[in-house]
Chains A and B, each alone.
Chain A
Amino acid sequence: MSLDLPYSQGGEFVDLPHDIRLRRIYPEGEDYDLSARTVLNVGPSHPAMHGTIRMVVELDGETIVGCDVIPGYLHRGFEKECEAHTYHQAIPYTDRLNYCSPLINNFAWVETVEKMFGVEVPRRTQLIRMYLSEVSRITDHLTCIGAALMEVGALTPFLWMIEVRDWYWEHICRVTGARLTQTYARIGGLARDVTDEWLDRCEQINSEHLVKTLRDVHVLVDHNRIFIDRMRGVGVVSQKDAISYGVTGPMLRSTGVGLDCRKYAPYELYEEVSFDVPIGKYGDNYDRYFVRMREMEESMKICRQLDPLIRATNGEEIKVDDSRVSLPPKSEVYSNIEALMNHFKLIMEGQRPPQGECYHAVEGGNGELGFYIVSDGTGRPYKARCRPPSFVNMGSAHLQLLGAQVADIVPIFGQINMIGGECDR
């Protein structure tokens, strides 16, 4: 795959007042009266918008003939905040990136730091991280598909999916202590260990709630004429455009590119489990729906393979034994001056990775979620940068929006699955 592929620009730029740069298209073969167009401001707090994103669309009747997507209304300065905090203190910030799958963000961040240290975390920790990542992926996709269904008017399946998601979140709460902002990862380990009972119940949720709900949703909407009309052929991105715009995740896979970080750049122990990477064909909303539905099944498959592996490592350490990274045990701290100093330094100054820079990417719910960290050898990152999949995926939004109908705006956004926290950082 070369990167000099020609890609569709889609329209020309027109500057409007208030710093709006409209990308406008002109239907061919018609003598066009521009005064008949309406400019409509959708967002930033439109009731149906995911997060807060503003969009200025130019309408010809019901057709979108110009658009300007203006993200940034949820900008919190995540990256700058990271520079002002120790590596450890940044973990809670990562929760707020993609709040549908906070654990994946957690793990991505700590793994990047671990990569800088060059430490390898214990096997059990990696297995648990994989397990929780897959559960988070399921919750992410449940939210996305549920919302997408709701936006085309099917409220009932949305509530079914949200119910299952809540079973998961409630259960994740039992090990992490929080439903949403979980902050479960630690550099070099995990906050606490999981138990066999916890795994039992998780498998029970998989097999009782998730399987049933997926089946119900498939039955209810897959062959529904209205649903197909609303999703098929809407929000199409060609394979070339998807690659050119750097689209990743289910959106890229729906165009037929089987690119998945877990496969082509395996991290953790993804080489040990077998799973398929579902791909679509047409790159439209319907394919994205199906890719996500299939991915949930694959995640469930991975969870089932991990289950015995985690049980086999019962009782093993979940922290890496490295004084640069892990806190010493409390008994040591109170009885041993070296441990006490170690503890003091780690808390006050933070973990201090060697000078250098590092990029680490994982497969998040929406695509490649990467962190790039530059370290100057102190306890705080010199520079931290997040590669948010939904921000990059949003880059292709105008390709999907131009020429679509007003009613397609929200389903298209739903399937890009723009999460405000992640997109605007």
Chain B
Amino acid sequence: MDWAFLVVAIMNLSFVLGVLLNLGGVLTWVERKQGAVMANRIGANRAYIPIPIPQKGGGVKWSKRFTVMGLWHGIADGAKMIMKEDYTPPFVDKYIYNIAPWFAVVPVLVTFAVIPFGGPFQPGIMLSDVFGLVGADFASEWVMALFGERTFQMQLADLNVGLLFVFAVGSTGIFSAALAGWASNNKYSLLGALRSSSQMISYEVFMGMAILGLVVIYGTVDMNLIAQMQGDVWFGFLPKWGIFLQPHMFFIFMAALMAENKRVPFDMPEAESELVAGYFTEYSAMKMGLFMMAEFIEIAVIAGLLTALFFGAYHVPGVHGAGDAFYWAAHPELTPGNYVFGMEVPHVVVVVGRVGSFLAKLLFFCWFQILIRWTLPKFRYDQIMRLGWKILLPLSLVNLVLTAVVVLLIGG
């Protein structure tokens, strides 16, 4: 039994799930608060946790209302949805109706498995550094015995099919909308399901096409390798991120991802102004909550994908990818030692810096998507289709051909 691998896998898993599930809750608050700020409102600020303070002479005094800028609203929402009556309308197909919400959540969570969020790390060295710092030498020895100097990836599944896995799993998300809409036995739901199926299938097509340009350049679909390659530097200062390789494709890819997530401006399947709530009109309580949760987690997943493919994944801007040294202090001969201004940097700092960098970028793109949601009007169904098939798909194809030619001519 490879205990070291198991421990690392559990560490990775708890990190990813912790980040994603919490973001699913926190982003509902961000969405409200950001929308409120943009619309000159106050936003969520009412939910609070009352803390009982026992008094000397008996009795309880309640503390002040700790609203914490309304952060409790996410928890209150979750509690509300769990405790509401889970009503299943009599006219639905019970089995499919009940299983559909899970098709929404699972693919979203699974997609994140191949996103590298911290690059290579040596848990033995890292943890023994930390334990050594606090003086727990026996723990240092123990982790060194367990991990040695082995290098692991901070990624749930280091698959060599990386990107293809994203597309494969992502496309199963269609099932949730299609099944939910079909099983609900409601015309609004059905219209929503039709819209979401056609929209997601169409956008899946050129989402793949849009990213193929990058794949041609990198020569691999392994997300981990793609992330590593983005650590290189051009002209001594410009990081070799995907955004600088294919800036135009970044916008197309982002549009495709947002269309996959069915949010404004692509929220045709939900379309609250004409289809009530689209494919989940008939859902209530936590089943509806699962759809909402999937939507908000997918914001984070989209942000993760954009970060991993276009914004240098875990690389800190200004820090050399391979050597973890600043560009201006980097000497090729120093790699892979960790040098900043000639000083060696502990491995733990490098790891924390990388994970922090990834999270910062992730949060930025979450914020950016919510900004878009509160700024733009939404498309009409036929306009989405026209945009996808007649504009974005040809653009992606042209880009793919041009990229391939250029890559052949230059590097080959």
Contact = CB atoms under 8 A, between A and B. Distances in A.
19 contacts: A40-B188, A48-B276, A62-B382, A149-B377, A152-B273, A152-B378, A153-B267, A153-B273, A153-B376, A153-B378, A154-B375, A155-B39, A159-B39, A160-B39, A163-B39, A224-B377, A230-B377, A410-B274, A411-B273
Interface SS, A side = helix
Contact of A151 (B264, B273, B374, B382): B273
A229 B376 CA distance: 12
Nearest to B36: A159
For the complex of A and B, the 4 pairs showing the least CB-CB separation, nearest first, are A153-B378, A159-B39, A154-B377, A152-B377
B187 A160 contact: no
A220 B375 contact: yes
Given A47-B276, A406-B274, A407-B274, A153 B377 contact: yes
A42 B273 CA distance: 11
Interface string B253-281: 00000000000110110011111100000
Interface in B10-39: 35, 38-39
Interface of A: 38, 40, 42, 46-48, 59, 62, 149-156, 158-160, 163, 220-221, 224, 226-227, 229-230, 405-411
Contact of B35 (A40, A153, A156): A156
Contacts of A155: 35, 39, 374
Given A230-B380, A410-B274, 20 more contacts: A42-B274, A47-B272, A48-B273, A59-B191, A149-B377, A153-B273, A153-B377, A155-B39, A155-B374, A156-B39, A156-B375, A221-B377, A224-B376, A226-B376, A229-B379, A230-B378, A230-B379, A406-B275, A407-B271, A407-B381
Contact of A62 (B273, B276, B381): B381
Contact of B380 (A159, A160, A407): A407
A319 to B, nearest CB: 41
Given A152-B378, A406-B191, A159 B274 contact: no
Contacts of B383: 226, 229-230
A330 B276 CA distance: 56
Contacts of B267: 153
Interface in B110-135: none
A409 B187 CA distance: 16
Nearest to A41: B187
Interface residues of B, number: 29
A47 B270 CA distance: 13
Nearest to A411: B273
Nearest to B378: A153
A409 B274 contact: yes
Contacts of A46: 276
A286 to B, nearest CB: 12
B63 interface: no
A230 B377 CA distance: 9
Contacts of A408: 380
B55 interface: no
Given A153-B264, A156-B35, A226 B191 contact: no
Contacts of A59: 191
Contact of B268 (A407, A410, A411): A407
A159 B264 contact: no
B391 to A, nearest CB: 11
Contacts of B377: 149, 152-154, 221, 224, 226-227, 230
A95 to B, nearest CB: 28
A296 B234 CA distance: 55
A38 B189 CA distance: 13
Given A160-B40, A405-B381, A154 B272 contact: no
Contacts of A48: 272-274, 276
- Which of A42, A156, A409 neighbours the largest number of chain B CB atoms within 10 Å of its CB? A156
Contacts of A226: 265, 376-379, 383
